[in-house]
Amino acid sequence: MEINEYLKLFRKQLFYPRLKEETQLSEFFISVTGSNGISFSEIYSTTIYPEFVQIEGERFMLWDNHFWDLYERFLLGFILAKSPKVDYSVIFEYINAISFLFLTNRFDSVPCLSYIFARHYAGTGFAVPPYNKFEATPNRDKLITAGYHKTLISGKLYVFFHEVIHSLIKIDSSIFDDDREDIIRFCAELIDNNIDGQVRETALEIIQGKDEGLIEEICCDLRAITESIRLLHKSSAEGADKKQTLMDFIMDIRYLLTFHGSMLQIEGAWQANRRGIDEFGAEFILHAEDQITQQNVVINKANSRVNLVLYLAFRLHGYTDFNSDDFIDAEWFSKFIVPSLEFVRSSDLMKKIFEDYLNLKPRYSAVEFRTSKNMLVITAATLNGAGRGG
pLDDT tens digits for range 35-46: 999 999 998 889
pLDDT value, residue 386: 37
Separation CA 265–CA 106 (nearest Å): 13
**Given pLDDT bands bounded at 50, 70 and 90, which one contains residue 28?**
very high
Q: How far apart are CA 198 and CA 200, in angstroms?
A: 5
Measured CA to CA, the distance from residue 138 to residue 383 in angstroms comes to 18
Contacts of 127 (CB under 8 A, 6+ apart): 135, 380, 381, 382, 383, 384, 385, 388, 389, 390
How would residue 132 be classed by pLDDT, with cut points 50, 70 and 90? very low
Q: Residue 178 to residues 181, 184, 211, 355: CA-CA distances in angstroms?
A: 5, 10, 18, 53
CA distance 150 to 333: 20
DSSP secondary structure, 309-343, as one string: HHHHHHHHTT-----GGGGS-HHHIIIIIHHHHHH
pLDDT digits over 175-184, tens only?
888 888 888 8
Whole-number Å distance between alpha carbons of 189 and 273: 39
β-strands 38-43, 51-55: how paired?
unpaired
- Residue 276 CA: distances (Å) to CA of 146, 239, 287: 44, 57, 9
| Residues 6 or more apart whose Cβ sits within 8 Å of residue 100 | 117, 118, 120, 121, 124, 344
Instruction: Give per-residue pLDDT as tens, 77-131.
Output: 888 877 777 788 888 888 999 999 999 999 998 899 999 999 999 888 887 655 5
Helix spans in the chain (H): 3-10, 23-35, 65-81, 88-106, 111-123, 139-146, 149-171, 177-192, 198-207, 212-235, 242-280, 288-316, 330-332, 338-344, 347-360, 366-383
Residue range 285-302: mean pLDDT, rounded: 58
Instruction: List beta partners, residue 42.
Output: 63
156 contacts 176 by C-beta, under 8 angstroms: no
Which residue type, as a one-letter code, is found at position 203?
Answer: A
pLDDT band at 214 (very low <50, low <70, confident <90, very high): confident
Region 129-156: mean pLDDT is: 71
For 220, counting Cβ atoms within 10 Å of its Cβ (0-12 exposed, 13-18 middle, 19+ buried), the class is buried
pLDDT at 7: 82
